Amino acid sequence: MIDSLEWATATQLVSSYASGEVSPVEATKAALEAIGRHDGDINAFCLVEAESALAAARESEGRWRRNEPMGLADGVPTSIKDLMLTKGWPTLRGSRLASPDGDWSEDAPAVARLRENGAVLIGKVTSPEFGWKGVTDSPRCGITRNPWNVSRTAGGSSGGSAAAVAQGMGPWSVGTDGGGSIRIPAGFTGVVGFKPTYGTVPLYPASPFGTLAHAGPITRTVDDAALMMDILSRPDARDWSAGPAPTRSFLSSIGEGVRGRKIAFSPNLGYGSNDPDVETAVRAAAQVLRDLGAEVEEIDLGWQDPVAAYHVLWFSGAAKVVEGYGAGAMERIDPLLAAALERHAGFSASDFLDATAVRMKLGREAGLLHERFDLLLTPTLPIPAFEAGRDVPAGSSSLDWTSWTPYTYPFNLTQQPAISVPCGFTAGGLPVGLQLVGPRHGDAGVLSAAAAYQGATEWDLARPNTTAVSTNPSRK
């Protein structure tokens, strides 16, 4: 029984469609009504297409009545990050440089797979310009805010996706992650964000950020993330770098739990420093996993921060994007992006190769770690959400967004699967996320462990401005 369509998960909706308890039209109307109530404060959507969404929902309703669902997500209201091509809708990437009058005749692979499975596309959600940073504001779309406190950032660059899901404006969204862009906003807004192993979800067009870039789900539950992965991981011939399709359903594997699994707990990867409330929440999460039967060992990784190498790869890609718009583009982009490109300019081919060598060394260290441990547990972020409209917290000694998210971008360098799951709140009522990381191609194990944790706790039941949760992290 679904108590509230606004807060129903994708898996609940599909089950209710099958039983006839709920129709896709009702669920779509609920999502659109939530957008109408909340998005004026949140600014998660840059495009809403109510008419086409309701038409698609009516078609889905007819298929369910005939017992002929189109796929795994038939009738589920879905939003798409505005970095992904979506047939019939402009993809403007948060930039005034992009023209809405383009040839929008193609779906990105993730969008195509969702459409093929009957998902009801309700609109596109915000991104910073070209997805360049870890918060979501842009010259074209303005500031996206955190549903838990609208004076705070939702994070980024998939901030529109996370804010929409956190506020009940659709049960799930598809985002991208080149340095934490799925996990950062998931951690800040109290939802689930999963970055799969590179190549598990095909991408097209190829990202200018190269093999740092991943696509994946942002949802309220791990079950929904696994269900979306069953859809997104299907092949697409346009991505030459994608891996083979998984041979087993992710959703079917998430009940395996964590008993007997070895988990390395690193509170700081060897170089970070955490807000006390974050530290407390993540240590409590580690204990929950111990209570579930996992062997959790706190370790000192002693890693060196790979941020300098990451900057070479990341800002080289960002510069290439802007360069493609020709003379005068630098004067028309986000001034903070222009300043960042000036700070990180002049990289040579030798610099790129040196950065790649750092990446390879980190990948080796991570691979050896996973010979001893099944998973690595860290905070998603060392701090809670800070003031909206800023790239870095007030008083920061750095101008770079990477300075406050040290635990996410290393796993884009190594291409490992990593998930953020809500694990508590600060004293000020802001969400805290824990990150679980697995070996490359260990996606199912990451999802299974995250599902076990979420099943033993109640943080996923919290709702902005509605439902409070117990301070006891154990689900009753």
DSSP, residue by residue, 157-195: SSHHHHHHHHTTSSSEEEEEESSSTTHHHHHHHT-EEEE
Cβ contacts of residue 283 below 8 Å, gap of 6+?
Answer: 267
Helices (H), 43-105: 50-65
Residue 32 contacts residue 38 (beta carbons within 8 Å)? no
Residue 159 contacts residue 203 (beta carbons within 8 Å)? no
Catalytic residue among 157, 161, 207, 316: 157
57, amino acid identity: A
Helix (H) or strand (E) holding 137: strand 137-138
Instruction: Give the span between the Cα atoms of 219 and 77, in whole angstroms.
Output: 12
R_g over Cα of the chain: 21
Task: Return phi, psi of residue 207, to 5°.
Answer: -70, 140
Characterize the bridge pairing of strands 77-81 and 172-177. Answer: parallel
Catalytic residue among 16, 60, 79, 81: 81
Instruction: Give the span between the Cα atoms of 310 and 410, in whole angstroms.
Output: 8
Characterize the bridge pairing of strands 431-437 and 375-379. Answer: antiparallel
Residue 301 contacts residue 396 (beta carbons within 8 Å)? no
Characterize the bridge pairing of strands 137-138 and 77-81. Answer: unpaired
Q: Judge whether 81 counts as a catalytic residue.
A: yes
Residue linked to tokens 């039941």 = 461
DSSP, residue by residue, 409-468: THHHHTT--EEEEEEEE-TTS-EEEEEEE--TT-HHHHHHHHHHHHHH--GGG--TTS--
Give CA 351 to chain center in angstroms. 29
Give CA 23 to chain center in angstroms. 28
Catalytic residue among 181, 266, 316, 448: 181
Catalytic machinery residues: 81, 157, 181
